[in-house]
Structures are given as structure tokens and as C-alpha cells.
Chain A
């Protein structure tokens, strides 16, 4: 039994949440259903832990499963894990488990809520592990549907506008990406004579530079909307503020990373020539995002909106890291830093959203003006908020520092100006984050209702404590995680260099669609 499980561990982790979601919907007793859901998330987490533990960094793609689905079209169910996706997979299963604990007290249609979260988890894990373009696309779209319902049914005042904008904006990019993906599919047939949507086969494709531009643009647009890269970020503040707490956590924690993961997995390796040309542009957009996000966040009266804009800022940082090209190659430090920063952002921003949720549960308001001086009645809350803030800012000793440092290191080697602008983003980050802390925690208690607020309950501690430990742990023991990531990035950089050198020296193929 265990041997069988081990062989199919990837699929087990993808589909277990979905199966348990069906159980949750089926069971009439709400309490039992919640525990069953939690069990499903737990099993999935154990499966991913197993993968994480037995992952060997030097080997490359592991836990691979490949079954032909539509052989005459060359589409197969192809999943696997490598260093780039491993940490994200662990983050996803870990956060979903915490989410279910955090959502324990939801009263309206609890089973549907849990089931949607579990379906979402399946979608995310599938997208992270898929190595076949069609399956990636399927899981990418599947991720949207539960999120749509989560925001639309359990969200705030303006939820319908927020969720419709979110879905339409994302789907717009995705459909163009689908067209580009089909073009790649046809180009592969043209060049190799075989139909295939498998990513490994498509990596070998040498697309002529003229066509690369449009295909890259389509892929980049879809991912840029998801990241969100300035100026495609306008859906984010609405979606985050109107979503229920757990919805915001998973949105910020994992879904946004899908955009950067997409860049890393698809846009960069498939189209290296064009990427190198436009890396500066994307990097500049990232920097604008950092500064814009930080400045706007500073001025927000609503705590959730502030954290939402901080996400724009942080992911701008990740984008700068992704676009750090060194002498027409990829900077391994910056990319590793970007991957690490993705995880850190997920943890610290997830924690921040949980904390804002705690405040909302207490007082049913998110406006910073309604709080103040909470350090006195809620000391543990204060501790956790400070830890989350410092993790978000990137204080040395937290994971954020490691990520930001690596990114800045890599960027400085190629583009010092960009690095200097980005580091000012670190400073601004500290500004608005500490403003948040000051307005919420310190000073005199201005509202009498705040005097007797209950501190963190046991359940809330259960969700927040692991995150806090990770924030600090990832800062003190970064190599534990980085060693798993780095070889895959190095491999990617090597193949990137080979492609670049080949296309510089070789001739352009006249490939026409």
C-alpha cells in the first residue's frame, strides 16, 4: 500500500483534497464534515512533506507521472516536481491546512466553504506540478472557479464587482495565453513532426525570434495580470479587501505566486531570446510596482487594502529578481532569491491577513482609525503582528531578508540603478509597515471598545504560531530550503545560456504558422 502511494505521490497530493471536498459536501453533519476536510488537507500536507523530504536536489525532475490522455493529440497527464516548484507546493499544502483551521468558525454554508477551499488546493497543486501545457491551463482555470465563489458568496460589501473584475481580468490574459500555447503546440509539430504538449518537448523547441515576441507577450500578459505586475494590478485591491479572511490569505499566499511561477516555468525558458531583450522593461515595471505599491499602501486607511498594496510592492520585488539577467544569462542568485522571496511573502503576508482577520472578528471594522493602543489588551497579538511586519519588511533574522538580499545581489551585478531603486522600496516597506504597527498597537487607547478586547484564542494561535516560527526559521536556516532550490535554478540558467548562444550563432529558421 505504502509503496503504491509512494509511486503516485504527486497525483495523491493533487487529488486528495478534491476527493475529500466531495466527502465534505456529502456528509450532512457539519462538524464531522469540517474534521473530514481537515483530515484531507492533513493527508495532502503529509504527502507533500514526503515529497519534500525525499527530494534530491541534484537529480532534476522527480516524482514524475506520465500517462497518455489523448495520444493522437499528444496531450498527456504529466506531473512532476523540481526545485522551483517544491517549496511552493509545500507552502500551498501548509497554508491550506492552516486556512481550514482559520475557517472553522464560518457559519454560512460551512461545508461549501471548506469544499471550495479544498478544490482550490487541488487546482493550485495541479498547476504547480503540471508539465503538460493543456493540463497546466486546465488547473490554472480550475483555480479561478472556487476563488470566484469564495469572494462572491462570503465576501464584503462590494464583492460582486471585485470577484467579477478578478475573474474577467485573469481569464482575458489566460485565453490569450491559450492561443499562444496552441501556437507552440503547432510549431512543435512543424519542427519535430510529432504532436506534443509536454513541456519538456516544448523546451527543445527553437522558435524564431520574430514569432517569439508575440508568443512571449501573450504568456507574459497572462502571468503579469496574476502577479500582479504594475499596471495590471487594479483587480488586486478590490479582490483582497472584499474577500473573506481565508480567501485573502490564500489569494496572497499562493495564487499571486502562480504568476511568478508561470514566468519562471514557462515564459522565461520557452522564450529566452525575447525575454533577454525585454527583461529590463519588466524589471522597470517591477520597480514601479515596488515604489507605487509602497507609497499607496502608506496612505491607506483600511488595513486590508494596505496589506493588499504591500503585496503589489513585494511581488514587484520578486519580479525584479526574476528579470535580473547577467551578461545575457540568468543570475542564479537573483532567481533563487526570487523563489525564496515568493515563499516568504506567502508566509508573512498570509500571516498579516490572518491578523487583520483577527481584528475584524473582534470589532467588525478594518479601518486603522478605529484601533490604537492594542498592545495593552492584546499583547500576544502585538507580538505576532510585529513578527509578521518584520518578516514582511525583511529584517535580518527573518526570511524576507535572505530573499531580498539575494535579489538585490543579483540585480546589482547587471543593473545597479534598478537595484538602488529597489532597495529604496525596502525602506518604504519599513515605513508603511511600521505605520501599520503604530496605528494599531501603540499610543493611547482612543476607543473605549478596544480596552477589553480578548487576546489571541487557541484556534487563532494554532494558525498564527506556525507562520511566525517559519518567518524566523526561514531567516535563521535559509540553506535548509535554498539547497533544494538552487540546483534546479542552475540547471535552468545553463539551458538558458545554451539556447542564447545557439540562437546568436545559428541562423533563423523561417518557421511560419
Chain B
């Protein structure tokens, strides 16, 4: 491919397009969150004792600025998020952005840790499985993939706690006090991802290894290791990178909710659950906004990576 192909010239336009799409996604998600958080119930009611009077509720609604018309609240909300001002968490009485930024590193630690574990174990497993289908490595990868897909993470987390914390006493049962505290939640997050990555890369590699160009390369006398690691793996990497992106997004926007709750790990997922339980609209909006924002950035980066790996991908 020549360096002056369509993709090379169109890169800035491509990025601009993706950027505008991302903005639309963030706006859409935040609007949906605004509507949904108001559908799930009245936070004023949830914050007072069950037997509080109508007057108590009116007083609190005024104090929280939730007594105005809904469209006005929406306009204020849009104005505020445009400047990253989400207001104070109704439950914690401090800026929601501070809480989100505090918890963000916890979630990113788990996600990146789990992805690293999944790639470091999943890729070699997939290569070993693809080179000798039907052999032990292949069986392990199939077993791990199936367990990863079928075991609910909630259950897996509790089982790991039971084994490693209660029975063996090797690791802390929950919390984030020491580095050891991260091991069980990372394992719980990583196992299903590991299974899927191994499965996907394995079948992509088998396809590549059976393709014409690999056979040609081998026939030309290229060393088998180079064929597999450079040529076949590079081509098989495109769907795997897509899967990695998906895994990261799924962890960020879903799996960490369960894992952080089970392991009492202070991250965004746990914060989202608490915000829902306490009907803290402000905090929930901030959490969802940041997760949507991160996923848009992630997709943006993935688009660039695809183009580096496979320049045929057009605008």
C-alpha cells in the first residue's frame, strides 16, 4: 500500500468524524440518564425516614434544588455538564466529579490488570492451541473459555473468596488495603475475558494458518515461528483487538459493577450501585457520563489502532 492512499489523506477527517460521533453518543447517554434517573423515583422521598411528612419532603426538595420544573432542571444539567460541573452528590454532599475522579483509578486498575492477565495468559494459550488443535493446550483453552462464559462473575467471585480467603487464608477477602487485595477481583474479572480472548484468537489463528499466504510463506522456507508470530498473528490480531476493546468497555460499563460490589472494591461500579440505591441522581449522572466518555475515547483509540494494523479500513 502506498503512503498516499485514501486512508492516509483522510485521517484528519476520519478523526473529526469519529470525534463528532463521540460527542453525540455522550450527549445521548447523558440525556437518557437524566430521564431514567427521574423515572426511578423521587430522591427526596428516599432520603427521609419512611414516616416523614409532606412538609419535611417539601423542605428537603427546596434545599436540594429539586422543586423546579423538569425542563429547567434539564437545562441547568446540560449547562453544568458542558463545563464538567455535575453539582454536589445528594448523598455525600461534595462535588460528584471529585468522587468520580477518586474512584476512577480503582476501576482502571482492575480493568487494566484484568486485561493484562487475560492477554498474557490468553494469547500464549491461543497460539499453543492453534498450533496443535485437539491437544492439551487446546483443551485447556476450551475449558477456560466455557467456564468463563458460563460462570456468573458474582458466583465466581464468592467461590474465589471462599477458597483463597476463608479456606487457604492466602489473600484478603475484600477491600483495597494492600496490593494483595487486588488479586482476587482481577482474577474474577480476567477469567471470562481470558476465555473469550483465547477462543477468538485460536480460531482466527487456525484460519490464518490454513490460508494461502501462510502455506506460500512456509513453502518459501520461512521459519515457522516467524510465520506464526509475525504474519498470521498480525492478521489474526484485528478481530482480537476489537474483542479487547469490547472486553474493556464491558468491564468498565458492566462487569466491574458486580466485581467491585462483591469485593467491596472502591471503584466506579460500586459507586454507581450506591448512587442507585440512594437515588443520588447527581452522582449517578456523573458516573455514567464519565464511563460513556471513557468508552468514546476508547473507541476513538481503537479506530486508530485498527488503521495501524489494517490500513484497508476506510473512513
Physical interaction between A and B: no
Chain B contacts to A: CB under 8 angstroms: none
